[in-house]
Amino acid sequence: MTINLISDTVTKPCNNMLDFMMNSNVGDDVFKEDPTVNELEKMLAKMFGKESALFFPSGTMANQTAIKIHTEPGDQLICDKYAHVYNYEGGGVSFNSGVSCKLIDGHRGMFTNEQVLNSINPPDFYHSPKTSLVCVENTTNKGGGACWDINELVKIKETCIEHNLFYHLDGARIWNAMVKTNTKPIQYGNIFDSISICLSKGLGCPVGSVLIGSSEFINKAIRVRKVLGGGMRQAGYLAACGIYALNNNIERLKEDHLKAVEIEKLLSKKHYIKKVEEVETNILIFQLKSNYDSNVFLEKMLKSGVKLISMGDNKLRIVTHKDYNNEMHLKFIETITNLQI
Ligand SMILES: *Cc1c(COP(=O)(O)O)cnc(C)c1O
């Protein structure tokens, strides 16, 4: 038994999801003729109280499309120094949109309205790039699954309106945030101009992300998605997984969060741990004391059949997910309990 905790993207579709997928009605989505893709898009637009939505092969492409639409070459977007759009999308912000990032030195990937105000370049000062977009991430990936306070998101919204900035949410793990903070999709729909969500993380789909926004925005997004090569044909088989996941796999995220907290409690007592980032959802980041080597730790874990991932700086990451079941959890707890290092 391998216990894979490197990410919540490692899940495989369950049999019920596969059955649902195989029985779906499909068509050519490039001609907008796939009824299942259309249904998934409608379902998400409605959930978030937006006019429209568009299915994407990846979250990266959905984020990059939003950035392309909200900016002009030479502009600058504001995001945290930990942001996925800045760190993990292959430099797409500059490659696709010719845009630079003003990085905020936030806390666990989150920042304050005050920090946004301090990051906006004066619009009439033509020496500096024009600020046109604010991107936030919820939950934060590199920030260890932390959730935003919705009131701060509202304050930043007001700043965006006042300063004529677009406002994008990278909601790859927004489902985890909603379950944790007891918030609803409509609240995020009311705040943001555009939202990207992932189906292939905690929700357990093999593929898929969706971009949500106004009809005008999504009409532009169809063109950008085409340019990026993201038009898919009988994508309904994949969209069906999304429909299945939205109906069945949201509430169960609580179980992933609970397991992560149990691991946190155990790890924080260990002599070799310097710090465990407080667990809020399904991501746990911990740092070893400097006299212990994270690579040695990783190897020992691997020998016991457990896969974790290194985050640099003697930090390691654990992500709990749908396919990390109770049996695996017990075995992992036992492995940590008995570990000699
Ligand atoms: C995973 C992730 C994405 C999208 O990643 P893809 O692998 O391209 O689907 C975007 N933002 C965050 C915060 C993520 O964790």
For the Cβ of 203 lying below 6 angstroms from any atom of ligand 1, the answer is no
Q: What is the pLDDT of residue 341?
A: 84
Q: Is the pTM of this model over 0.95?
A: yes
pLDDT over 90 for what percent of the chain?
A: 99
CATH topology of domain 14-248: Aspartate Aminotransferase; domain 2 (3.40.640)
Instruction: Round to whole Å and give the CA distance between 46 and 59.
Output: 20
Across 266-272, average pLDDT:
96
Digit-coded pLDDT (tens) for 174-197: 999 999 999 999 999 999 999 999
Is pLDDT above 90 for 340?
A: no
User: Quick check: do 3-8+252-338 and 14-248 share a fold?
Assistant: no
Digit-coded pLDDT (tens) for 59-84: 999 999 999 999 999 999 999 999 99
Q: What is the pLDDT of residue 114?
A: 98
For the Cβ of 8 lying below 6 angstroms from any atom of ligand 1, the answer is no
Q: Superfamily assignment of 3-8+252-338 in CATH?
A: Aspartate Aminotransferase, domain 1 (3.90.1150.10)
pLDDT over 70 for what percent of the chain?
A: 100
Rg for the chain, CA atoms, rounded? 20
Residues belonging to the chain: 341
Buried residues in 259-292 as b, exposed as e (16+ CB within 10 A) = bbbebbeebeebeebeebbebbbbbbbbbbeeeb
Q: What is the pLDDT of residue 13?
A: 97
For the Cβ of 59 lying below 6 angstroms from any atom of ligand 1, the answer is yes
pLDDT band at 41 (very low <50, low <70, confident <90, very high): very high
Nearest Cα to Cα of residue 289 among 268, 266, 261: 268
Q: Which mutation among 88, 139, 196 tests ligand 1's pocket best, with the greatest number of atoms within 8 A of CB? A: 88
Contact 222, 29 (CB under 8 A): no
Digit-coded pLDDT (tens) for 304-339: 999 999 999 999 999 999 999 999 999 999 999 999
Domain boundaries of the chain, sorted by first residue: 3-8+252-338, 14-248
For the Cβ of 60 lying below 6 angstroms from any atom of ligand 1, the answer is yes
Instruction: Round to whole Å and give the CA distance between 61 and 47.
Output: 22
Average pLDDT, the chain: 97
Q: Is 38 helix (H, G, I), strand (E, B) or coil?
A: helix
Digit-coded pLDDT (tens) for 138-173: 999 999 999 999 999 999 999 999 999 999 999 999
Q: What is the pLDDT of residue 280?
A: 98
Contact 214, 51 (CB under 8 A): yes
Q: Which mutation among 141, 228, 317 tests ligand 1's pocket best, with the greatest number of atoms within 8 A of CB? A: 141
Is pLDDT above 90 for 1?
A: no
Rounded (10°) CA dihedral 265, 270, 272, 274: 40
Instruction: Round to whole Å and give the CA distance between 165 and 77.
Output: 9
In this structure, what token pair is assigned to residue 155? 């304050």
Query: Strands 194-198 and 209-213, how do they pair?
Result: antiparallel
CB-neighbour burial class of residue 78 (10 A; exposed 0-12, middle 13-18, buried 19+)? buried
For the Cβ of 137 lying below 6 angstroms from any atom of ligand 1, the answer is yes
